[in-house]
A and B are shown apart, each in its own frame.
Chain A
Amino acid sequence: MSADHLPEHPDFLWRNPEPKSSYDAVIVGGGGHGLATAYFLAKNHGMTNIAVLEKGWLAGGNMARNTTIIRSNYLWDESAAIYEHALKLWEILPEELEYDFLFSQRGVMNLAHTLGDVRESVRRVGANKLNGVDAEWLDPQQVKELCPILNISDNIRYPVMGATYQPRAGIAKHDHVAWAFARKCDELGVDIIQNCEVTGFLKDGNRVVGVQTNQGTIHTEKVGLAAAGHSSVLAEMAGFRLPIQSHPLQALVSELHEPVHPTVVMSNHVHVYVSQAHKGELVMGAGVDSYNGYGQRGSFHVIEHQMAAGVELFPIFARAHVLRTWGGIVDTTMDASPIIGTTPVENMFVNCGWGTGGFKGTPAAGLTFAHTIATGTPHELNKPFSLERFETGALIDEHGAAAVAH
C-alpha cells in the first residue's frame, strides 16, 4: 500500500474570504459538524448568505483528532434513528459531495469480555435489528474468522467472549470528509473564515443579533454553536450553561504496516479501539482522561493502559511502534448522548455533547442542526436530543454503546 492509491485532491477547495459585516446565519466552529451544518443550510434550506467561523485552521480540532470510526449500533430508538440516518448519509455523501473520502465499510466489532458485556451486547443486537440497523452477534470463532490477528485464547485476563458486528460500519478519511464539505460549502457561496475567534455575542434583549470576533463584529440573525469541547466557553459568553464537561481524549498511530487488520475492533472492557488506516498506520484510541481539560493533551498512563490492552488483544502489535500521540477536547454529557437544539437565548442554537463519538454523527448533526437553525424548531431526528431532557428526565443513556467510558 502506498500514498499512490489515495485519490487525488481536487484542484481547488475553498476561498479564504474576509468576513462580511452581516450574514443570515453564522456557524461557530469550522470542524466537521460546523461545515456539514453550513452545507445542509445551503443545500436543503437555500441559506447561502452564511459564514462558518473557525478560531484556528479548518477542521483542526476533533475532526483532525478522532479515530474515524463510523457505526450506528446504538441501543435506544432515538439514537439508532439519528446514527443510522447518519450512516445512510455517509453511504451517499461521496457521490453527493463529488469527493472520494475513502469511506470503507469494513465492519466494526464491539468485543464482549464479561458475562455482563455479553448480555448487554446481545440485547443491543436485538434492539438494533428492531430498528433496522444491521447487527450480528459473533461467537469467538466467528470473531477470529473476521479478524485473524485477534487473540481469542482464554489465557488472557479478559478473554474474548464474542462480539457485536455491524457489517455496514467502517472508517473514512476524516480530513477528506472535512475538505469535501468545505469545498461544497464554498461552491454554494458559504464563507469559511479561518483564524476567526469569537470573543462575545451581541444581544438585543434575549435575542442574539451578532458575534464579536478578533476580525471584527459580524451581525447575524441566527447563530449555531458547533464548537465541541469549547461549547461551554461560548455558552458562558452568551449567558447560559450547558450540562457538559470537557475532557482530554487521546489517540495514537503506529508507523506504516502492510495490511494486517481487515476490520475495526473496539473493546469497552479492556479499553482500546483499533483500525488500520488506508496508508497503513494502526490507529488506536484510548479512554478519556478523568479530569476536565482544555489542553488537547492528556496523561501518559492512559496511553500505557491503552497499549497494554492493544497488545493483549493483538499480540502481533507487540513490535509495532507508537509514532505519534495526540489529544482532543471532548464534550461529554451525563447520558453520553448529544445535545442538538434551541438554547435559552433566542435565535441561538447549539450542537454539542457528542463527546467521544462525534465523527460518525457528522452528516446527521449537520442535517438536523441545519433544519433546527433554518426553521427554529428541531427536526424529528433531533427532537429527543434537546437541552430540556435534563429537566424532564427523558435521558438517552448510551453509555453502553458509546464505547469510550466517561
Chain B
Amino acid sequence: MLLISCPNCGPRDETEFHYGGQAHVAYPENPDALTDRQWAEYLFYRDNTKGAFAERWVHSTGCRQWFNMLRDTVSYDIQAIYKMGEPRPDANTTAATTSEGATK
C-alpha cells in the first residue's frame, strides 16, 4: 500500500486515490492536422518508464483534487509531489548526487 501525501490533505492510504497515468501529456493543439500515426501516439502511446515516472493522481475520497507525482516504478518510492501545471521537478536528485560523488 502506497502512502501518498495529498498536497491538500496530507498523508493518506493509496485506497483514497485514483491513478491517472502519465503526466504532462497535452491534448494536441490542432487534432485535425495530425497524421494517423501522430493521433495514435496521442491516443494509445504513453511512456512506460522503468524508473522515475511523472504521473497524475486524484484524491478521490478526500479533496477530489488532481496533482502530479514523481514516483520510481521499480522501488515505488515517491520522489516528489507537485501541482497540476507545474513542470516536472528533477528526478531523484539524491541518488544522482550519490553516484556522482562515488565517481569523483
Binding site for B on A (CB under 8 A): 230, 232-233, 241-246, 290-295, 299-301, 334, 390-392
Which A residue sits closest to B75, measured CB to CB? A295
- A290 in contact with B37 (CB, 8 Å): no
- Selected from B21, B40, B46, B74, the residue in CB contact (under 8 A) with A295 is B74
Whether a CB of chain A sits under 8 angstroms from the CB of B26 is no
Query: From residue A293, how far is it (CB to closest CB) to chain B in Å?
Result: 5
Contact B14 A299 (CB under 8 A): yes
Please, which residues of chain A bring their CB within 8 A of the CB of B40?
A: 243, 390-391
B36 and A301 contacting across the interface, CB-CB below 8 Å: no
- Interfacial residues of chain B within 26-50, with CB under 8 A of chain A in the complex: 36-37, 39-41, 43-46, 48-50
How far does the alpha carbon of A300 sit from the alpha carbon of B15 in the complex, in Å?
10
Contact present for A301 and B1 (CB under 8 Å): yes
**Contact call B76/A244, Cβ cutoff below 8 A:** no
Question: What are 15 of the A-B contact pairs (CB < 8 Å)?
Answer: A232-B50, A233-B48, A242-B45, A243-B40, A290-B19, A291-B55, A291-B73, A292-B48, A292-B49, A292-B55, A299-B1, A301-B13, A334-B43, A390-B44, A392-B36
Question: Judging by beta carbons under 8 Å apart, are A334 and B44 in contact?
Answer: yes
Which residues of B are in contact with A by a Cβ distance under 8 Å?
1-2, 13-15, 18-19, 21, 36-37, 39-41, 43-46, 48-50, 53, 55, 71, 73-76
The smallest beta-carbon distance between A28 and chain B, in angstroms, is 15
Which A residues are in CB contact (< 8 Å) with B53? Answer: 292
A246–B76 CA distance with the chains assembled, in angstroms:
13
List the 10 closest pairs (A to B, CB-CB), nearest first: A232-B48, A290-B19, A243-B44, A391-B40, A390-B44, A299-B1, A390-B40, A391-B36, A294-B50, A294-B74
Given A294-B74, A295-B76, decide whether A233 and B45 contact each other with a Cβ distance below 8 A: no
Task: Using A242-B48, A243-B44 as known contacts, say yes or no to A291 and B75 having CB atoms under 8 A apart.
Answer: no
Give the docked Cα–Cα distance between A290 and B39 (Å): 25
Separation of A273 and B21 alpha carbons in the complex (Å)? 26
In the complex, what residue of chain A is closest to B51 when comparing beta carbons? A294
CB distance from B96 to the nearest CB of A (A): 19
Taking the nearest CB of chain A, how far is it from the CB of B40, in angstroms? 4
Apart from A230-B50, A243-B46, A246-B48, 18 more pairs, CB < 8 Å: A243-B44, A245-B21, A245-B46, A245-B48, A246-B73, A290-B18, A291-B71, A291-B73, A292-B55, A294-B74, A295-B73, A295-B76, A300-B1, A301-B14, A301-B15, A334-B43, A390-B44, A391-B36
Contact A233 B50 (CB under 8 A): yes
Name which residue of chain A comes closest to B13, CB basis: A301
Residue of B nearest to A245 (CB): B48
Question: What residues of chain B lie closer than 8 Å to A290, measured between beta carbons?
Answer: 18-19
Q: How far is the CA of A157 from the CA of B55 in the complex (A)?
A: 34
Least CB separation from A290: chain B residue = B19
A312 CA / B79 CA spacing, docked (Å): 38
C-alpha spacing A318/B104, complex, angstroms:
58
Complex interface: chain B residues within 8 A of A232 (CB): 48, 50
A294 CB contacts on chain B under 8 angstroms: 50, 73-74
- Chain A residues lying within 8 Å of B45, measured Cβ to Cβ, are 241-243, 390
In the complex, which residues of chain A have a beta carbon less than 8 angstroms from the beta carbon of B75? 295
- Measured CB to CB, the nearest residue on chain B to A333 is B44
CB distance from B10 to the nearest CB of A (A): 19
Q: B39, B44, B46, B76: which contacts A293 (Cβ < 8 A)? A: B76
Q: A278 to B78, alpha carbons, bound, how many Å?
A: 41
Q: Which residues of A contact B50 (CB under 8 A)?
A: 230, 232-233, 246, 294
CA distance A324 to B87 in the complex (A): 41
Nearest opposing residue in chain A for B15, CB measure:
A301
Residues of B within 8 Å of A293, CB to CB, are 73-74, 76
Cβ–Cβ < 8 Å partners of A291 in chain B: 2, 19, 55, 71, 73
CA distance A391 to B50 in the complex (A): 25
**Contacts A233-B50, A299-B1, A390-B40 known; A292 to B14 CB distance under 8 Å?**
no
In chain A, what residue has the closest Cβ to B14?
A: A299
Q: Across the two chains, which residue of chain B brings its CB closest to A388?
A: B40
Residues of the B chain whose Cβ atoms lie less than 8 Å from the Cβ of A300: 1
Q: Which residue of B lies closest to A332 (CB)?
A: B48
